[in-house]
Structure formats: C-alpha cells, structure tokens
Amino acid sequence: GITRHYKFDIKLQNVTRLCHTKSMVTVNGQFPGPRIVAREGDRLLIKVANHVQSNISIHWHGIRQLQTGWADGPAYVTQCPIQTNQSYVYNFTIVGQRGTLFWHAHISWLRASVYGPIIILPKRGVPYPFAKPDKEVPIVFGEWWNVDPEAVIRQALQTGGGPNVSDAYTINGLPGPLYNCSNRDTFRLKVKPGKTYLLRLVNAALNDELFFSIANHTLTVVEADAVYVKPFETNTVLIAPGQTTNVLLKTKAHFPNATFFMTARPYVTGLGTFDNSTVAAILEYETLNSAALSIRKLPLFKPVLPPLNDTSFATNFTNNLRSLASAQFPANVPQKVDRRLFFTVGLGTNPCQNNQTCQGPNGTMFSASVNNISFALPTTALLQSHFFGQSSGVYSPDFPISPLIPFNYTGNPPNNTMVSNGTKLLVLPFNTSVELVMQDTSILGAESHPLHLHGFNFFVVGQGFGNFDQNKDPANFNLVDPVERNTMGIPSGGWVAIRFLADNPGVWFMHCHLEIHTSWGLRMAWLVLDGKLPNQKLLPPPADLPKC
C-alpha cells in the first residue's frame, strides 16, 4: 500500500437549508464533509486541526485499527479531544478491509455536521466479487436541524427529557423537494440507460434507522459494513445509523420517459415520538437528445416504502444478509467460545437530579444502560489511563457480567429501573473468543438499538424476539455464513447473538448508534489486553496525542 495524506480543518461555515441559515462546525467548510478514498493496505495520515471553540475528535467508523487504538477517535475513550488551536494526526493502516465506511466527529452531537464517507477500494488489480460497475456514487443519509444540535442535546440532558427531533433528513446534505423551501436543495443522480451503478449507502443520521428505495428499480445488496455479502435483490434497503450498505443499481435498458424519486424515511417499530418526514433525491436519465428542459416535464414516480412499523420486512431483510463464506472471502466465525456473555440493553429512568421538575417519564430523567450500568465518560481518556497504569479514579475493571436483577425483559410493564452510573470496563485476555447475547429490555423505547462495536467486526449468529432462551436458541445459531459487520440492530423486544475474536489490544467503545441513547448512557467499553508476540501489542501513543 501507499501513504495518503489528508488535512481536515475544523472550522465554522454558514450553511442554508429549509430557508434557515446557521453557522456550523464543518471539515474544510464542507457539508457533508470530504470523502476519503484509499485502497486496502494503504496507510492514512489525516491531520485534524481545530479552529473552532468546541473540542473535537474524529472516529473512523468501522476501521479495525489493529494495534493503533490511539487513532480510533472516541473522545475520553481512546483520546482526549483536540482542543481549540491544537491538531492531531490520525495515523493508521487499512488491513484486510475494503468497501464503504464513514468517518464522523465522536464528541457530544458534533457528528450532526461533521461526517463523510470512507471509500476503500480493493488492492490494485483485485476485482470485486461482482460485475464491475460503470460508476460508483456515495449516498450519505444525514439530518438537518434549523437550530444548533449541541443546544438540543444540552437541553435534553439538563431537563432529563427527550430531545427535539431534526427538521429534515438529508441525502448528501440535501433535504429534497418534499420539504418546504427545499426544492433547490435536491440531490440529482444522473444516469445513462443500460448501465450498472454501485451506490455506497451510509447512514450518518443521528437518531433514525431508515428505509431507502428507488421508484421502479430493484437494488442488489452486495456488501454491508465493508464486508461482501451474498448478493440479493430488494426494493427497499433498511439501514441503521452506523451501518453502510453497497447496492448495485441496474438502470433501464432504454430511456424510460420518466424520472424517479429515491426516498428515505424512518423505521420505528413502536408508538414512540418520531418524525415521519421523507427525504427525496431524484434519479434522472440522460440521453443524447434529451434537453434538461424536457426532463423536467417527465412524469415523476415515487417509491412505496414499508410502513413505519414493518417489523417483518426488517426481520426478513436482516436475515437475507449472509457472508460470502467463499474460498477467497471466508467467514472466520469463531467455532469455540471462551467467554459467554449476556447484556441487557435499553432505556430506563433515573431519579430526578435537578431542583426543577424533570421532563422524563413521571418526572424522572431518561437514562439508558447496559447491564444496568449507565456508562459515564471520564474526564481523561481510558486508553491513556490503561496504558500508563493510571486507572485509579478513572475506571474500574468490574463491568457486571450478568444483569443485576434478572427479570422478564420483554414483559409489560417491565420493572428494570435499578440503573446506576459508572465507568466500568470488561477486561478480556488477548484472543478471547466471545459470544455475546444482547437483550433489549423494551422498557421505554420503541426502536431497535443499533449497537456498534469499535475495533472489531462481529458475526451475527442469531436473533429473535422475546426473551433469549439459553437452552433453546443456541441450537439455531448460524455458524456457517452469518453476516459480519460492526453495527447491528437489537430489535425492540428481542435479542441478537454475536461472536467475535478479541484479537485487537486496546480500549474499545461499544454503544447504541442512536446518538440520544448514547448520550443517555447506552454505552460500555472493553479492555483487550496485549498478547505475547510483538504484533499482538498496542503500539505506543503518538507524540502529538492530545492531552486533557
């Protein structure tokens, strides 16, 4: 591989959407941010210079960061944030990965405006395991707030209530014509008949799992989270925050005398508050003799998206995702397990801690937890504390390995309100083979929890609804061709079983990629110890690692 250099200048930029102009934190003044393009095996040196008043850190979501945990990015986990007028060079090599990932700010809610795609091409001369597309196009979903999202989360945490929802979803930063005052801000994908396009879908939205569809066109899913999958056709893609999906779009053989909406809107299983608005982009066919004017007059077709609560669509879609499990791309599913773990994940409440009345359920504060621990970020970075042997007062290595009070997790009403705050790590010796069942507790939430694991891919060996049954469910685990990914939705009122090999030393964050759930504490961290061989150890920290 080669070394590629990028410069990210964090600076304010005025951006207008929906007739509202606001100053927001961006990379190089761009919204969404610049794309990173590299090949498998390349080394990346990305200098992030902070020219704004807020602290910042950037996460390279889905990059394994083998031995380079210092470059992973979550603030107060692997690094102290980069302060005003400071800079930090993220230095890492892409090992054994190719496909679509993304980068985003990993501090407070700054990723609302600080994100962009990462495109990893195969090594030179290595083809895709599918026919070469004629063109590749990133399709990045996001959200737009007319106000400052930092104020939204600040207020939610102070009052204990839920945050205001965004004003629009976006495709490549643009809300599209179904919103007021947004006609101009529409992403147009111009295509030619009879060609194949590789769409690189990224869900960078803060708080919503999305359905995506293109009217009158079928999509072929070929990759999820930068791992190839067995190709399958679908009209609609389901994609959670933190997930990426590559699909092939075959255009019609002849000029269709029509244009087509590409739309996305949320999948929400229950009756919680949600925003049912729809972002639209336009798929436009070009021919030699069609002037732009006549295209505008063509009929415009809209896709039919599944209903907001279509659980069976969601279940089928996720079941269709399978690893290639071929000779060239084997699925290295751990066949033996060293450590069986069970985590409850979900929303709950904490007693009101302010003098004023809290705006959570029954005057409480919303909280969220893993095994009843609502994870509190320290004021220094966990990885540094570990590496320099200064964990005292920062974290404790006693993450509870079974829920404190087992109960009927999916019962109604549930009774899991015994949440406490803490900074507890789960320690694993190098190369531990882990099987982890994550059980949603269905307490208050209506949505799936897209759980994201830093530093690893995992195999999704099983999933189901209701309470996980250790005596019955493991018999149905798929240990042959389960999908391998870094973010997986734990269904509302259900569970997911994953396996991974802890072959990457460092401190690795795991959290719900719905930003509000992370803020409420649905997060935890693993400490994977060094192995014996030199290539099994965390490298020393770079000299410019930010200080707190």
Q: What residues line the site for ligand C2O (CB under 6 A)? A: 59, 61, 74, 104, 106, 242, 452, 454, 509, 511, 513
Beta strand extents in 192-240 (DSSP E only): 196-203, 210-214, 219-224, 227-234, 236-239
CB of 512 to ligand C2O, least distance (A): 10
Is beta strand 279-285 parallel, antiparallel or unpaired with respect to 188-191?
Answer: parallel
In the three-class reduction of DSSP (H, G, I as helix; E, B as strand; rest coil), residue 159 is classed as helix
CB of 61 to ligand C2O, least distance (A): 4
| CB closer to ligand C2O, 322 vs 511 | 511
The structure tokens 């599913």 sit at 333
CA distances from 84 to 48, 106, 545 (A): 11, 16, 14
Cα gap 401→437, rounded to integer Å: 11
3-state helix/strand/coil string of 452-463: EECCCCEEEEEE
Sign of the alpha-carbon torsion through 78, 3, 139, 97: negative
| CB closer to ligand C2O, 386 vs 513 | 513
Task: Give the count of beta carbons closer than 10 Å to the beta carbon of residue 192.
Answer: 14
CB of 55 to ligand C2O, least distance (A): 16
The number of residues making up the chain comes to 548
CB of 473 to ligand C2O, least distance (A): 28
| CB closer to ligand C2O, 110 vs 281 | 110
| CB closer to ligand C2O, 223 vs 225 | 225
| CB closer to ligand C2O, 243 vs 318 | 243
| CB closer to ligand C2O, 206 vs 483 | 206
| CB closer to ligand C2O, 424 vs 513 | 513
CB of 306 to ligand C2O, least distance (A): 25
In the three-class reduction of DSSP (H, G, I as helix; E, B as strand; rest coil), residue 318 is classed as helix
Task: Give the count of beta carbons closer than 10 Å to the beta carbon of residue 276.
Answer: 8
| CB closer to ligand C2O, 282 vs 381 | 381
φ, ψ of residue 529 in degrees (nearest 5): -75, 160
| CB closer to ligand C2O, 98 vs 452 | 452
Q: Which residues fall within 8 angstroms of residue 195, CB to CB, at 6 or more apart? A: 134, 135, 250, 251
Q: Which residues fall within 8 angstroms of residue 469, CB to CB, at 6 or more apart? A: none
In the three-class reduction of DSSP (H, G, I as helix; E, B as strand; rest coil), residue 301 is classed as strand
Is beta strand 506-512 parallel, antiparallel or unpaired with respect to 523-528?
Answer: antiparallel
CB of 468 to ligand C2O, least distance (A): 25
CB of 242 to ligand C2O, least distance (A): 5
CB of 509 to ligand C2O, least distance (A): 5
Task: Give the count of beta carbons closer than 10 Å to the beta carbon of residue 475.
Answer: 8
CB of 88 to ligand C2O, least distance (A): 17
Paired tokens of 64: 């394994």
| CB closer to ligand C2O, 61 vs 424 | 61
Q: Which residue is nearest to ligand C2O (CB)?
A: 61
CB of 543 to ligand C2O, least distance (A): 25
Q: Is 347 in contact with 161 (CB distance < 8 Å)?
A: no
φ, ψ of residue 167 in degrees (nearest 5): -90, -20
Q: Is 133 in contact with 96 (CB distance < 8 Å)?
A: no
